[in-house]
Amino acid sequence: MTEPKIELYYAEVCGLCHKAMDYFRERGLEFTAYEIEHDKEKDDWVPGPTVDEMKRRAGDVDFVPQIFINGTHIAGWKKLEPMIESGEFDKLLQNT
């Protein structure tokens, strides 16, 4: 079986982003993480190619993590967590 392709866009200040990454690490799943910088004063993302790519792939989102499992978009930990509990996440991992 081929390894699943897991990608996520995260911000260092985001606790739910770290929760997702910790979960992947605990499961021994390799993933690629793309850091998005957050400007506290402007309360917005710091413009750049990574933000542009995230918005191209996930839509005009204003939160992280934005997660992609084998190309399937999962909008945040709050969407991922029930998928983990229901077994849907494991099914996505098998679609390689």
pLDDT value at residue 2: 78
Give the mean pLDDT of 81-86: 96
- Per-residue pLDDT, 77: 96
- DSSP codes, the chain: -PPP-EEEEE-TT-HHHHHHHHHHHHTT---EEEE--EETTTTEEPPSHHHHHHHHHH-S--SS-EEEETTEEEESHHHHHHHHHHTHHHHHHH--
Beta bridge partners of 84: none
Which residue ranges form the domains of the chain, and what is each CATH number?
6-87 (3.40.30.10)
pLDDT given at position 3: 86
**Six-digit token string for 73:** 């978009």
Say whether pLDDT at 10 is over 90: yes
Rounded-to-integer distance, Cα 10 and Cα 50, Å:
10
Q: What is the pLDDT of residues 13-71, one digit of tens each?
A: 999 999 999 999 999 999 999 999 999 899 889 999 999 999 999 998 989 999 999 99
